[in-house]
Chains A and B, each alone.
Chain A
Amino acid sequence: MRFSLTCRLFVLAALAVLILSVPAFASAPAGGEEKGGLDFTGIKRWDLGIYTLIVFALLIAILSKFAWPAIKEGLEKREATIIGAQEEARRDRKEALEALVKAKAELDAAAAKAKDILDEARRDADALKVSEREVGVKEAAAERERARRETETNKAVMMKEVYEQAVKLASLMSEKALGRQISSDDHARLLDQSIAELKGASKA
């Protein structure tokens, strides 16, 4: 083993100091025998110091045997539990995030689908509206036509009744004017004539 010069000088200096201090130690009075003012500190109670060492050593030994292994085991288990719970929480979080992304995608798809359905429904509604309107217009036109035809028919019937009444009236007046009863042939002939005249008059 090699020592540096500084190290050797250091050791030599230390030895010199020790040798020089020997006379001082030798001339020092043997302390601890006289009763001094520091008795209250218990400075001479070596028994108490040794007892403290024994009690503390026993305490350390007993705890090393019966307490610390159990505490260490418990702490390791607790650490494992905490780490496991952390891992589980991390995994759950990851799964939840994935589920969230998936749910969001599904939600977006559903929203898009709902929009399509709505658009389609709107288009159908518009188409229906248009077709319904056309049908309505057609039906209204048909109704109008039907009403017009009915009116025409009623008008013709009424006109016929008016003509018949007019002919009857004319026959009656003719009978009274001629002073005789006209035969049915005459009557029919007069009626036809009157109708023709009336028709001609109405047309004019």
Chain B
Amino acid sequence: MAAAETISTAASAEVKAKIDPFAHVVDSHHLEFLPTAKFGIDGLELFGLPLKFMILMTVSAIIVGVSMIWLGAKMRSGEPPRGKLWNLIESLLFFVRDKIARPGVGEHDANTFLPYLTTLFLFIFVMNLIGLIPFLGSPTASIMVTGALAVVSFFVIHISGVKSNGVGGYLKTFIPHIELEGGMVMKVMGFVITFGMAILEYATAFIRAGVLAVRLFANMLAGHTVLFMILFFIALVSDPAYQIPIAKGQDWLYWCVMPFSVALVTALSLLELFIAGLQAFIFTFLTAVFIGLAKHPPH
């Protein structure tokens, strides 16, 4: 009896592990191309650490690097762009300049931050897009990847603020100016409110970076998880390993679920394509806006 229970528990745990919706989205030691046929690449690890995201991130960086170096070689002549690829990459560069850097940082300083913002945008965008290739994954679905990028943005934002306003001047920009008319009580109250709001403002400087990281990571993770789960419905009703009661002996259910899942995943993949660009845009645009606010604080 106890042995049967142990076996049952073990099987249940195995099934639960198989149903883990994040297993195919997060970093791992292997790439599964056709899981049912046991076809994939195993052993993607170094010192026991999974390398899938590192490899995909490196590929993204190489794509961005090669594209921009190629673009530089083409643009050096000063000739107008020719060909689809040249136009495509250059339009992305000008998109960052005209829609992100100039509105966010300001006309005067936009060109100074254009290399950083363009690299950031393209790096995130390519990593997001790589996640849409079947069997691969998006490194931006890891909070540590987006967090690292947010940390870089954090330093760029505040260092540019300090360079523009000086250390003391920049720290003072976080303190709101509240003037309360009246006696000593009102003055004390004004000081307390100012102090509280300043604490919030200083916290906001860190929260902003955290929000940048969480927004990108959560969107990419959730998007890919939803895609996986909708496709997983097919396995859920057709694979006996999962043993869901409603699917037992109901082969017709496969033919109902399969087309629905495929159609929905196709539609959502198109949406994910849009979100890949949108999230890269939001991350970069907010970085540009924060740089602009740090350099030219509102009075």
Contact = CB atoms under 8 A, between A and B. Distances in A.
B151 interface: yes
B286 interface: no
Contacts of B217: 41
A109 interface: no
Contacts of A74: 72, 74-78
Which range contains the number of A residues in contact with the other chain? 35 or more
Interface in B68-111: 68-69, 71-80, 93
B195 interface: yes
Interface string A72-111: 0111111011000000000000000000000000000000
B198 interface: yes
Given A40-B22, A58-B61, A70-B72, A64 B143 contact: no
A56 B143 CA distance: 15
A70 B115 contact: no
A93 B78 CA distance: 25
A77 B26 contact: no
A67 B145 contact: no
B142 A67 contact: no
A48 B25 CA distance: 15
A25 interface: no
Nearest to A74: B75
Contact of A81 (B75, B78, B147): B78
B143 A42 contact: yes
B53 interface: yes
A48 B142 contact: yes
Nearest to A73: B76
B76 to A, nearest CB: 4
A202 interface: no
Nearest to A76: B78
Interface string B189-225: 0010011001100000000000000000100010000
Contacts of A62: 65, 69
A49 interface: yes
B64 interface: yes
Contacts of B25: 40
B58 to A, nearest CB: 6
Contacts of A52: 57, 139, 144-145, 148-149
Interface stretch (A5-13, A135-143, A148-156, A177-185): A5-13
Interface in B20-74: 22, 25-27, 49, 53-54, 57-58, 61, 64-65, 68-69, 71-74
Interface string A47-62: 1111111011111101
Contacts of B143: 41-43
Given A46-B144, A48-B142, A74-B78, A55 B27 contact: no
Nearest to A38: B143
B10 interface: no
Of residues B57, B93, B139, B147, which shows the largest number of chain A Cβ atoms within 10 Å of its Cβ? B147
B142 A42 contact: yes
A63 B119 contact: yes
Contacts of A55: 57-58, 61
Contacts of B152: 53, 56-57
Interface of A: 6, 9-10, 13-14, 17, 40-43, 45-53, 55-60, 62-64, 66-71, 73-78, 80-81
19 contacts: A42-B26, A45-B144, A46-B144, A48-B148, A52-B148, A56-B119, A59-B61, A59-B65, A59-B123, A60-B115, A63-B64, A66-B69, A69-B72, A70-B75, A71-B76, A77-B77, A78-B78, A78-B80, A81-B78
